[in-house]
Amino acid sequence: MAQPERPPPPLPPGQQLAAAHKWPLVGERAPASACGPQSVVAAGLVARPQTWSLAELRAMPQTACVVDVHCVTRWSKLGMRFSGVLLAELVRRAEVLPAARYVSFEADSPRGHSTSLVLQDALSLGALVALEAEGRPLPLEHGGPVRMVVPGRYFYKSLKWLQRLNFLSTDCLGYWEREAGYHNTADPWREQRYQAAALTRQQMAEALSQGVLGRRDLRGLDASGQQLPGLMAAGARLRNANFARAVLRGACFDGANLTNASFELADLRGASFRRADLEGTNLAGADLRGCDFSAASLTAATFCREAADGGLAQLARVDGSTRFDAAVWEQLLPAQAECLQRLLASASGPPGHEGSP
């Protein structure tokens, strides 16, 4: 008897599937030491402080798990296979004390990257000290030889190049949580991407009235529907900002961080986004004629909506003078690459874009 086809597993809100053969690289690209951490330390509120070599970790009971990876920049990969040692096993061996309520994961990385979890959450989610991905040793750029994998949280809770587990009675906010305002719980099903906006409405209005945005944290800035032609936002920190339907003709966002920002239906004619971080940025329905996206990072950026029937709706507008690097085809998720290809193919005017697939 034919098995009924199983419905595809649902994605958390605002997420899109990465191409099947691709595992995007996010954040730091290499550890501090050439080969990454060679041991993992358990410290803080433990009765038996420990240092385990990689060989010792490999000799412990190995747990395999299948994990849906959800990056806060809106790409997901379902059913990734990881294996390694459960955090619970190391907690037992180090005899973590009852006073420990948090665990801070610390990386062997250039900026001393870290992230933390409520210890009980980490244990009940099945947090894994992973040594393998897809049946092979973890690649160095993906956190090898040893990283955290935390199912059920945005992937920024899965630290690459784990060198130290610090068990604490009070929380120690991680790097992205501190520097970028990423949410400290990070549950993708509740779409906990960011803590509340960095500024009050009054402060936002003041920042915008100058027409020049500085270097302070403007995360969650709400400029939807505003008239902001020629806005100077070079180098601005605008994660999760809302520029939906705003008029931003000739604006400069060179080098700005616009991760997860929305420009839905915005008028961006002649705006410049050179070297800008546009990971997970929404450009659906925006007017991008004359825009310059040279050397911008566009992983999981969107240029249209995916309609319920699988078709593409609310397409951005581009023309021959909209500039993209060839690298854009490596970065975009499948449906969005298809959309941009279609837009560029139908664009009239003199050729301006360098890349074609």
Ligand X SMILES: Nc1nc2c(c(=O)[nH]1)N[C@H]1C(S)=C(S)[C@@H](COP(=O)(O)O)O[C@H]1N2
Binding interface with ligand X (CB under 6 A): 23-28, 71, 107, 109, 113, 142-143, 155-156, 158-161, 176
Dist. CA 45–CA 102, nearest whole Å: 10
Among residues 28 and 330, whose Cβ is nearest to ligand X?
Answer: 28
Extended beta strands in the chain, E state: 16-17, 39-44, 50-53, 63-70, 75-86, 102-107, 114-118, 128-133, 136-137, 147-149, 162-168, 305-306, 312-313
Contact between residue 194 and residue 220 where contact means Cβ atoms under 8 Å apart: yes
Q: Which stretch binds Mo ion (CB under 5 A): 121-129, 155-163, 216-224, 338-346?
A: 155-163
Partner from ligand X, Mo ion, none binding residue 248, C-beta < 5-8 Å depending on class:
none
Is residue 156 part of the contact set for Mo ion (CB under 5 A)?
Answer: yes
Nearest Cα neighbor of 260 from 274, 276, 244, 239 is 239
Q: Which stretch binds Mo ion (CB under 5 A): 69-77, 107-115, 137-145, 188-196?
A: 69-77
CB of 275 to ligand X, least distance (A): 18
Partner from ligand X, Mo ion, none binding residue 301, C-beta < 5-8 Å depending on class:
none
Our CA dihedral for 300, 301, 303, 307, rounded to 10 degrees, sits at: 40
Q: Which of 72, 298, 301, 335 binds Mo ion (CB under 5 A)?
A: 72
Q: Which stretch binds Mo ion (CB under 5 A): 44-52, 66-74, 320-328, 341-349?
A: 66-74
Q: Distance from CA of residue 300 to its chain's centroid? A: 9
CB of 176 to Mo ion, least distance (A): 7
Q: Which two tokens stand for residue 85?
A: 């040692």
Dist. CA 192–CA 199, nearest whole Å: 18
Among residues 71 and 241, whose Cβ is nearest to ligand X?
Answer: 71
Q: Which two tokens stand for residue 185?
A: 């719980």
Among residues 113 and 183, whose Cβ is nearest to ligand X?
Answer: 113
* Footprint (CB under 5 A) of Mo ion, residues 8-27: 26
Dist. CA 158–CA 216, nearest whole Å: 27
Partner from ligand X, Mo ion, none binding residue 160, C-beta < 5-8 Å depending on class:
ligand X
Q: Which stretch binds Mo ion (CB under 5 A): 55-63, 70-78, 90-98, 251-259?
A: 70-78
Dist. CA 13–CA 76, nearest whole Å: 11
* Footprint (CB under 5 A) of Mo ion, residues 84-103: none
Among residues 244 and 300, whose Cβ is nearest to ligand X?
Answer: 300
CB of 196 to ligand X, least distance (A): 20
